[in-house]
Amino acid sequence: MFDPENFEAILNLDDTDLLNLPTEEDDRCEFKSSMTKDDDLGKKICKAASGFWNSGGGLFVIGVNDHGQPDGGISLKIGNQSRKDWIDKVLIKVEPRASYEVQCIKNDKAGLNIGNEKAVILIGFASSQHGPHMFDNRYYLRAGAHTVPASQFLVDAIYARRAFCSPLLRHVIRQKPEDVNTLQIGIVCLNDSPALNVEITLNPFPPSLKQWEINFPLVVPVISKESHFFFDFDRLNFSQKPDKIFCLQVKYNDLANHEYHAQFTIDEGKQLGPNFGAHGEKDQQLHKIAVAIDMLTYEISEKKYKITRNIL
């Protein structure tokens, strides 16, 4: 029923889907009774969050018995606070916090044992690459139907796993810090996994770089979170239109030597913003500023003239 890689899908579930819950807990599913007190429930949610995030994700179901059957449901509010907001606040205690979704399912079509103003709550925890996740100074894992403290060896293994997740590369366009009239394309890494043997090419080749086409593909040994890569590709020239849209194509490997391919669209006119991307616009903006200054100067002169006349 639950896929940690598609955890958002729980937002599409209704009470008829509760009939498909597992009949017992396992390493991907944990049940909590409607009779669980809120203080105790908050701790169990955080403990489960640590365990599921450290173990590949899972589903936490509140308001059911040990066989996954609704046993009355829990209130949708705690005082004036919605149950979802309460869960969001509770999960702040887990560090670092990863992705999850909350779905509150009321009694509708299936005629299940869910009271008025109550619901069965589903919390879907995604698979996380940013562990280990800690609650109350301890790390947890799922072991079958139980959430148990993780040994130091397993905690170290989760830390090591970070390095073997897929590198997450993105592109940026910026003005060169040492020369603001030069534009640069950058390849940046957004997670902790470095990209190795990165090959960069452009298609079609922009006119501004045509003379350097023989030097492509560019090969960069490592692009990481601490070491991004930028190269010059154009000069700001407000009298001409920017290059046509072209593609930045990237091929790279991870630490396990898996190969990846990515393609990013370079649109200088949009991605630099209105101040710099559309070259013809800057002159218009400067002209508007000049007109505004002239008008302000004229108004000040008029007021000074009237004040002088009144004094005389």
Q: What pLDDT tens digit does each residue of the chain (312 aa) get?
A: 689 889 999 999 999 999 999 999 999 999 999 999 999 999 999 999 999 999 999 999 999 999 999 999 999 999 999 999 999 999 999 999 999 999 999 998 888 999 999 999 999 999 988 889 999 999 999 999 999 999 999 998 888 777 667 888 999 888 888 887 888 889 999 887 889 999 999 888 877 778 888 889 999 999 998 899 998 877 655 445 555 688 999 999 987 788 899 999 888 777 765 444 444 445 555 566 766 776 777 676 666 555 555 555
> Given 128, 162, 196, which residue is the final one in a domain?
162
Inside any domain, residue 308: no
Q: Do 176 and 116 lie in a common domain?
A: no
Task: Tell me the whole-structure pTM to 2 decimals.
Answer: 0.60
Inside any domain, residue 64: yes
Q: Do 152 and 18 lie in a common domain?
A: yes
Inside any domain, residue 14: yes
Inside any domain, residue 299: no
CA 169 to centroid of chain Cα atoms: 13
Tokens of 101: 């979704």
Q: Do 9 and 158 lie in a common domain?
A: yes
Query: What is the residue-wise DSSP string for 229-298?
Result: EEEEEEE--TTSPPPPPEEEEEEEE-TT--EEEEEEEE-HHHHT-TTTTSHHHHHHHHHHHHHHHHHHHH
Find the domain containing 63 and state its range. Answer: 4-162
Measured distance CA(70)–CA(13) in Å, rounded: 15
Residue 220 half-sphere exposure, CB side, CA atoms within 13 Å?
Answer: 20
Residue found by looking up tokens 């799922």 in the block: 142
- Whichever domain contains 37, its CATH number is 3.30.950.30
> Given 131, 162, 193, which residue is the final one in a domain?
162
| AA letter at 82 | S
Q: Do 210 and 176 lie in a common domain?
A: yes
